[in-house]
Amino acid sequence: MGKINPPPSFRRQFIRLALSVILWSAVVSALIWLLLGLTLLLFFRPANYYEKQVPAILRFAEESGEKLLDPETRPLLEEKIPTEGIAYRVLPLEGGKGYGTLPPPEKTDPKQWIRKLNTTETREGLVYRYIPLSDGRGRLAGVLVLGYEISFLKANDSPLAAVVLILAMATPFVAIAFFAYWFGRRLERRISPAIDALMEGAARVERRDLDFTLGAVGGTRELYALGEAFEKMRHSLRTSLETQWRAEQGRREMLAALAHDLFTPLTIIRGHAENLLNRVPQEEGRLHRPLRAIFANSERAIRMLEEMQEANRLERADFSLSPSPLDLGAYLEEKKEEYLSLCNRKKIRLHFSLEDSRRRPRPMRLDGHRLSQILDNVITNALRYTPARGEIRWRVLLDEEGVEMEITDTGPGLSEEDLRRLFQPFYRGDPARKSGHAGLGMYIAKTLAEKHGGWITAGNAPGGGAKIRFRIAEL
């Protein structure tokens, strides 16, 4: 297959969208305006309708002359003037307010009227026209003042006219909004699948699921390039993780084989050393002391191998917990007695407290054996660093969803290095190097807590000493 051509860039598509919106809005607006224009011509008066009536009024005024100065001719004049749209006032030259629908002038200045004869002026939204009224000898006898408004709404005193005008004004804005939405939705339909594919791919990478192919991402040239970069990253991550997994698997297999190969000879050495210790009298210190050292060191090596084997089992893909109903009251009482015995040997005080917030006590589905492993590792670690006459506080909180425990001691506490690396495999702080363990206890505790749907954290208590908190969820 040939290489897939990438789609146009987002910039190009956006410009195309904007031009399409403008073009289609202009075309549709023009068509609507054309229809509205035909409607206006056929069914409505033009905006200058009343201005078109002025010539007829002018002719009537020329024919009537000074007769219009008589108020009794008002009905006759108003037959010619459409008073619903044109206001008027008849003013005699010799003075007086005259008559009409326009308000009378504040000052009667005949010279001012003469200057405005046969002219038009606009004032306060109205167009004023001054028409001379002559007597029989052609002399100026008065002035007819007309006032009208050039307005579509004034010419058409109907709600429908306002609707048509609003529609004409709103047409381009409605058209732009409609086509912007329409073409925007089309662009969204082109882009959304690409974005959804990238988000789904990112979610699968977050879940450490790299066994997929993103494929070609369309939408825009930028998203296409991003999809190609994402696919390269996924492939590199998968290759790297597979290499790392193979190396880790090789390490585990090597450690498992090493532990297995060493376990048998060490067990034999320990057995022979124990037999010899039982046969050699303690008075023969020259033999008894080396035999005791051989037995103690072989015992320590076996414990370290057992920790390594346990950590290796927990890391296996087929490892699973074995939950069963566990009476936590009886279980915790038994563990408390066990830890009291260990604390008494070192003259350490153990303070135990239990808070049960459940509605009623009941057995909880937990893996009791694995819970004991977590507790044993944490308590043993606290015992290892707590000095004689110190104390260990063990606090247990039960709720409907699981168990939370907090263990604090009065030892030296945890250094910054300890806090960073305490739960890493094979980590041992400097004082721990004499204690005969592989540095896997806290790593095992962390792994088991997480497999039990929980967590474990380490810190320092406010009054000094280490503080370990962990939680496991009911299965």
223-245 tens-digit pLDDT: 888 888 888 888 888 888 778 77
pLDDT at position 384: 87
Residue 2 vs residue 323, higher pLDDT: 323
Residue with tokens 């495999």: 425
Region 396-413: mean pLDDT is 92
Instruction: Look at the block and give the residue holding tokens 């390490």.
Output: 251
Cβ–Cβ < 8 Å for 418, 475: no
**Cα distance between residue 181 and residue 188, in whole Å:** 10
Confidence of residue 146 (pLDDT cuts 50, 70, 90): very high
Which DSSP category does 388 fall into?
T
Q: Among 54-58, 354-358, 419-423, where is mean pLDDT lowest? A: 419-423
What does the alpha-carbon distance between residue 91 and residue 108 come to, in Å, rounded to a whole number? 9
Q: Are 86 and 53 in contact (CB under 8 A)?
A: yes
The secondary element (H helix, E strand) that includes residue 319 is: none
pLDDT at 324 (0 to 100): 92
Separation between Cα atoms, residue 433 and residue 41, nearest integer Å: 103
Q: Are 454 and 405 in contact (CB under 8 A)?
A: no
Residue in 355, 321, 353 with CA at minimum distance from that of residue 336? 353
Q: How many Cβ atoms from other residues are within 10 Å of residue 89's Cβ?
A: 19
31 vs 25: CA distance, rounded Å: 10
pLDDT at position 378: 93
Q: For residue 432, what pLDDT is reported? A: 42
pLDDT band at 1; cut points 50, 70, 90: very low
Residues 94-99 have a mean pLDDT of 82
Q: Report the pLDDT value the prediction gives residue 433, as an integer from 0 to 100.
A: 39
In what order do the strands lie in the sheet containing 402-409? Answer: 349-356, 391-398, 402-409, 466-473, 455-460
The SS3 assignment for 170 reads helix
Q: Record the pTM.
A: 0.50
Can you read off the two tokens belonging to residue 210?
């790299």
C-alpha span between 67 and 134 (Å, rounded): 9
Res 354: pLDDT: 92
Mean pLDDT, all residues of the chain: 83
Say what percent of the chain tops pLDDT 70: 87
Contact between 272 and 406 under an 8 Å Cβ cutoff? The reply is no
Q: How confident is the model at residue 284 (pLDDT cuts 50, 70, 90)?
A: low
Quote the pLDDT of residue 349.
94
Per-residue pLDDT reduced to its tens digit, 180-230: 999 889 888 888 888 888 888 888 888 877 777 877 777 788 888 888 888
Query: Which one, of 129, 397, 439, lies nearest residue 307 by Cα?
Result: 439
**Which residues, other chains included, contact 298 with Cβ-Cβ below 8 Å and sequence gap of 6+?**
266, 269, 270, 273
Please return the burial class of 115, using the count of CB atoms within 10 Å of its CB with bins 0-12, 13-18 and 19+. exposed
Mean pLDDT throughout 42-66? 87
Containing 308, the helix (H) or strand (E) segment is helix 285-314
Q: Which of 304, 265, 302 lies closest to 437 in space, CA to CA?
A: 304
Enumerate the β-bridge partners of residue 100. 89
The one-character DSSP state at 3 is P
Question: What tokens does 99 get?
Answer: 């008559």
Q: In this predicted structure, which of 85-99, 256-270, 330-344, 402-416 has the lowest mean pLDDT?
A: 256-270
Does residue 399 sit in helix, strand or coil?
Answer: coil
Amino acid in the structure at residue 133 = L
- If we measure between CA atoms, which residue out of 240, 199, 236 comes closest to residue 217? 199
